[in-house]
């Protein structure tokens, strides 16, 4: 279903386009026919005057082969790249080959190319310059191309004489092959010289690089191929092990000394574990214990003052002094051991640091030697590659295109250009296109909307009515009264039906009539629409809001009122005092006394809303004649108060962009645009769409007199 709907829409759009084209051709067929016929005749004459040219083609088949320069294997076919084929084609088109053709074919005296010498400013210069002029003239008619993806080159030359065309095409093929063969040997010789010079230079560079590497290894004492294998490197490992052992011993000695000092701080020399473990101190303590026993017995027997007691006390003091001396000796030995261990570790550390320094120098030397070796290897590899490349290139230059074959051109029997039937057909098509372009430009320059369909499709608004253009001798405002059944009057009745529907719409009471620009028939449409509503029996008020122009009194040809809407909004008079009776029953008018210009917001601050609210209670319909939307703010502001807004568009006059902008503004402002009134349409035009209001078939339905 969806695809069918899309197909229907496409057919509808295509039908619209066809209708527009038919309508345009119907109105402008004379212009179209005149332009198309003139262009077609001119094209036929020009094609008939073109001199025929004959083209002859000579072929060169390139069959490249390549033999291996380092083996005795047979030659193998070599695939040519597109770039190589294009290079050969460019060589055929070169000025050098063209000059050789001029010489071999003696074309300096040819009448055709003599004209090129006559028209050239350099015709009186040297023979070489004259020859170059003729050669360039030859190249203008030469075309060299590759035949599909093959190895064939097609050499095509065009001339007025078919025999000359074949002769010159063959001359280009022959001279190209001769010049290529003569250049091949010279190119190979020059390449050999260049390669030999380059190889000699690279050989010297490689030998010098190898000598520098050997000399540096000899000076640095580095073995061939040895990186990190020196005597210094061999000394590092055992020295590092000895240093680790010495540092461990020094740490143990420092720990014992620290523990002894801590024990001395807590309990004196006697509390030091090394002192307690000393056999000498142990023996002295045993002796002291024995003396203490003896001292106790003597003291109990003889008393503390007895000479024997005093002797024993002297022994105890002597033993205590010996124990203290031995303890101090033990602690001193711990200090000495710790100092010795530290000294040994420091000595080994200094030796290892010295070895590491030598090792860094050795590593730097190794790195330098390795870099020199790499440089020598790179230069030797470059020499070898250049030698191989020299052999390959020389072989390729020598044998490339060795088996080229030449197929001569034959004189053509039919001209290659121009293709007159094709050109006649193109002239016919160009003539039709030119005629269509001219009438299309005329349509575009006419400006504005051309048809109902265009207005509706471009704006998205339905066309409420199409109002015919009234003759300059007639007054549109009076036509509604004088000829109520005319086409003009009927169009506003159609607009009334389009806005309200057949049964009326109770939600629409305030109808705004506006336009994008001035002079589109907005005020006349507002007056005519208000009269239409009043004649239909509805209590109607025509409210003039375009206060800067105050044009309704000029349209109606009535004197200016004493008071109007400006005075009502200022609060100077009551609304009843400003309302006037209209020229038809049920129609009242609230107009502007004279054009009013002020920077104040006359319709703002709730004044206009209050006025419309009051008038809604008194009238069936209120028709607002608004200012144009572009360039003025009042129209957009007042349109939001209306229940429906009709946009007046002048046929083939109002710019499309202006109408689109006006519709966009109304929608964005919250107004309710219900459609457009197409005004001042030519009564003889069929561009109003499928309604065909003004065709002769409807003549009996309207009162034209």
Q: What is the pLDDT of residues 633-666, one digit of tens each?
A: 899 999 999 999 999 999 888 889 999 999 999 9
Q: CA-to-CA distance for 365 and 307, rounded, in angstroms?
A: 87
DSSP 507-519: T--EEEEEESSSS
User: Mean pLDDT over residues 470-482, rounded?
Assistant: 79
109 versus 633: which is more confidently predicted? 633
Q: Specify whether the CB–CB gap between 651 and 680 falls below 8 A.
A: yes
Contacts of 180 (CB under 8 A, 6+ apart): 91, 401, 404
| pLDDT value at residue 138 | 82
Q: CA-to-CA distance for 377 and 381, rounded, in angstroms?
A: 6
502 versus 69: which is more confidently predicted? 502
Q: Specify whether the CB–CB gap between 573 and 593 falls below 8 A.
A: no
pLDDT above 80 (res 116): no
| pLDDT value at residue 251 | 76
The answer to which of 66-75, 297-306, 438-447 has the lowest mean pLDDT is 66-75
| pLDDT value at residue 401 | 44
Q: CA-to-CA distance for 627 and 602, rounded, in angstroms?
A: 14
Angle, vertex CA 635, rays to CA 633 and CA 639, nearest 5: 125
DSSP 417: B
566 versus 9: which is more confidently predicted? 566
> Measured in Å, how far apart are the chain's first and last C-alpha atoms?
52
Q: CA-to-CA distance for 201 and 492, rounded, in angstroms?
A: 103
Element housing 202 (H / E): helix 162-220
**CB-neighbour burial class of residue 323 (10 A; exposed 0-12, middle 13-18, buried 19+):** buried
| pLDDT value at residue 638 | 94
Element housing 437 (H / E): helix 420-446
pLDDT above 50 (res 691): no
668 versus 167: which is more confidently predicted? 668
Q: Which residues of 295-315 are buried (b: 16+ CB within 10 A; e: fewer)?
A: beebbeeeeeeeeebeebeeb
* 368 CB neighbour count, 10 Å cutoff: 15
Angle, vertex CA 515, rays to CA 559 and CA 596, nearest 5: 40
Q: Which of 140, 329, 346 is nearest to 243 (CA)?
A: 346
106: left (phi over 0), alpha (psi -120 to 50) or beta: left
Q: CA-to-CA distance for 654 and 458, rounded, in angstroms?
A: 13
DSSP 678: E
| pLDDT value at residue 358 | 59
pLDDT above 70 (res 699): no
| pLDDT value at residue 593 | 92
| pLDDT value at residue 68 | 44
| pLDDT value at residue 482 | 83
Q: CA-to-CA distance for 165 and 143, rounded, in angstroms?
A: 12
Q: CA-to-CA distance for 677 and 452, rounded, in angstroms?
A: 10
Q: CA-to-CA distance for 105 and 99, rounded, in angstroms?
A: 10
Helix (H, G, I), strand (E, B) or coil at 58: strand
Helix (H, G, I), strand (E, B) or coil at 645: strand
pLDDT above 80 (res 244): no
User: Mean pLDDT over residues 551-559, rounded?
Assistant: 89
Show the tokens assigned to 660.
């689109």
* 408 CB neighbour count, 10 Å cutoff: 14
Q: CA-to-CA distance for 46 and 69, rounded, in angstroms?
A: 62
Helix (H, G, I), strand (E, B) or coil at 54: strand
Helix (H, G, I), strand (E, B) or coil at 703: coil
pLDDT above 70 (res 23): no
Q: Which of 636, 580, 571 is nearest to 605 (CA)?
A: 571
The number of CA neighbours under 13 Å toward the Cβ of 483 is: 17
Query: What pLDDT, in 10s, does the model give residues 556-568?
Result: 888 989 999 999 9
For residue 153, list its beta bridge partners.
Answer: 60, 146
| pLDDT value at residue 677 | 95
How many residues appear in the chain? 705
User: Mean pLDDT over residues 360-374, rounded?
Assistant: 70
pLDDT above 50 (res 430): yes
Q: CA-to-CA distance for 66 and 440, rounded, in angstroms?
A: 65
Helix axes 127-140, 95-104, angle to 10 degrees: 110
Q: Which residues of 157-179 are buried (b: 16+ CB within 10 A; e: fewer)?
A: bbbeebebbbbbbbbbbbbbbeb
Report strand pairing: 65-66 vs 76-77: antiparallel
Q: CA-to-CA distance for 326 and 332, rounded, in angstroms?
A: 10
Q: Which CATH superfamily is domain 450-698 in?
A: P-loop containing nucleotide triphosphate hydrolases (3.40.50.300)
Q: Which of 533, 519, 536, 528 is nearest to 478 (CA)?
A: 528
286 versus 649: which is more confidently predicted? 649
User: Mean pLDDT over residues 52-56, rounded?
Assistant: 84
**Sign of torsion over alpha carbons 188, 190, 193, 196:** negative
Average pLDDT of the chain is 79
Highest mean pLDDT pick, 63-77, 106-120, 527-541? 527-541
354 versus 434: which is more confidently predicted? 434
CA 151 to chain centre: 41
Q: To the nearest 5 percent, what fractions of the chain are helix, strand and coil?
A: 60, 10, 30
Show the tokens assigned to 302.
């003889």
Query: What pLDDT, in 10s, does the model give residues 186-234?
Result: 666 777 778 777 777 877 777 777 777 777 766 665 655 544 455 556 5
DSSP 298-351: HHHHH-TTSHHHHHHHHHHHHHHHHHHHHHHHHHHHHHHHHHHHHHHHHHHHHH
Query: What pLDDT, in 10s, does the model give residues 575-605?
Result: 999 999 998 999 999 999 999 988 888 998 8
**271 φ, ψ to 5°?**
-90, -5
Show the tokens assigned to 435.
């005629």
Report strand pairing: 54-61 vs 152-159: antiparallel
Report strand pairing: 580-581 vs 644-650: unpaired
| pLDDT value at residue 70 | 43
| pLDDT value at residue 168 | 85
Element housing 621 (H / E): strand 621-625
Q: Which of 167, 145, 140, 165 is nearest to 155 (CA)?
A: 145
């Amino acid at each position: 279903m969806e695809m069918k709907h899309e197909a229907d829409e496409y057919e509808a759009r295509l039908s619209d386009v066809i209708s527009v084209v038919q309508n345009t051709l119907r109105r402008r067929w004379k212009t179209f026919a005149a332009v198309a016929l003139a262009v077609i005749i001119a094209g036929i004459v020009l094609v008939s005057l073109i001199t025929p040219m004959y083209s002859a083609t000579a072929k060169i088949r390139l069959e490249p082969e390549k033999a291996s320069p380092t083996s005795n294997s047979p030659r193998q076919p070599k695939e040519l790249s597109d770039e190589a084929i294009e290079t050969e084609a460019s060589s055929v088109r070169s000025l050098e080959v063209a000059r050789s053709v001029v010489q071999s074919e003696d074309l300096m005296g040819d009448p055709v190319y003599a004209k090129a010498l006559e028209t050239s400013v350099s015709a009186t210069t040297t023979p070489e310059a004259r020859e170059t002029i003729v050669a360039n003239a030859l190249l203008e008619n030469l075309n060299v191309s590759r035949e599909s993806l093959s190895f064939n080159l097609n050499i095509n030359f065009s001339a007025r004489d078919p025999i000359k065309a074949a002769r010159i095409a063959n001359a280009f093929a022959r001279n190209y092959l001769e010049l290529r063969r003569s250049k091949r040997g010279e190119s190979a010789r020059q390449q050999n010289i260049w390669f030999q010079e380059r190889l000699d230079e690279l050989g010297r560079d490689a030998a010098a690089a190898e000598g520098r590497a050997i000399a540096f290894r000899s000076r640095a004492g580095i073995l061939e191929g040895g990186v990190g294998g020196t005597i210094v490197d061999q000394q590092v490992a055992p020295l590092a092990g000895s240093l680790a052992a010495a540092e461990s011993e020094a740490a143990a000695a420092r720990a014992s000394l620290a523990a002894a000092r801590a024990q001395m701080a807590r309990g004196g020399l006697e509390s030091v574990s090394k002192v307690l473990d000393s056999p000498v101190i142990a023996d002295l303590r045993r002796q002291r214990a024995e003396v203490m026993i003896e001292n106790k017995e003597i003291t109990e027997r003889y008393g503390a003052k007895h000479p024997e007691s005093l002797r024993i006390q002297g022994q105890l003091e002597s033993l205590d002094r010996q124990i203290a001396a031995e303890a101090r000796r033990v602690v001193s030995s711990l200090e000495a051991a710790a100092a010795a261990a530290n000294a040994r570790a420091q000595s080994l550390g200094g030796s290892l640091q010295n070895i590491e320094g030598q090792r860094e120098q050795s590593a730097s030397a190794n790195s330098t030697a390795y870099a020199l070796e790499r440089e020598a290897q790179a230069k030797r590899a470059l020499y070898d590659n250049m030698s191989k490349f020299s052999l390959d290139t020389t072989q390729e230059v020598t044998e490339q295109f060795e088996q080229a074959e030449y197929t001569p051109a034959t004189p053509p029997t039919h001209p290659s250009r121009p293709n007159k039937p094709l050109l006649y057909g193109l002239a016919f098509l160009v003539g039709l296109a030119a005629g269509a372009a001219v009438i299309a430009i005329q349509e575009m320059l006419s400006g504005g909307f051309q048809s109902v369909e265009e207005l509706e499709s471009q704006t998205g608004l339905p066309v409420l009515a199409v109002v015919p253009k009234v003759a300059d001798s007639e007054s549109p405002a009076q036509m509604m009264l004088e000829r109520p059944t005319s086409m003009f009057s009927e169009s506003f009745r159609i607009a009334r039906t389009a806005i309200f529907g057949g049964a009326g719409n109770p939600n629409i009471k305030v109808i705004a009539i506006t336009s994008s620009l001035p002079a589109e028939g907005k005020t006349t449409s507002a007056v005519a629409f208000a009269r239409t509503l009043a004649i239909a029996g509805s209590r109607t008020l025509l409210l003039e809001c375009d206060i800067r122009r105050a044009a309704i009194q000029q349209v109606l040809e009535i004197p200016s009122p004493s008071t109007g809407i400006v005075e009502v909004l200022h609060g100077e008079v009551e609304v009843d005092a400003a309302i006037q009776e209209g020229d038809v029953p049920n129609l009242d008018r609230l107009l502007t006394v004279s054009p009013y210009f002020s920077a104040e917001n006359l319709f703002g601050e709730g004044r206009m809303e209050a006025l419309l609210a009051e008038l809604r209670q008194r009238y069936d319909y209120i028709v607002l004649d608004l200012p144009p939307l572009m360039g003025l703010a009042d129209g957009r502001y007042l349109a939001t108060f209306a229940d429906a807004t009709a946009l007046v568009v002048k046929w083939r006059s109002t710019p499309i962009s202006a109408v689109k902008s006006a519709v966009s503004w109304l929608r964005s402002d919250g107004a309710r645009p219900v459609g457009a009134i197409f005004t001042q349409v030519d009564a003889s035009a069929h561009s109003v769409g499928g309604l065909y209001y003004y065709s002769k078939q409807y003549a009996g339905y309207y009162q034209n007199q």
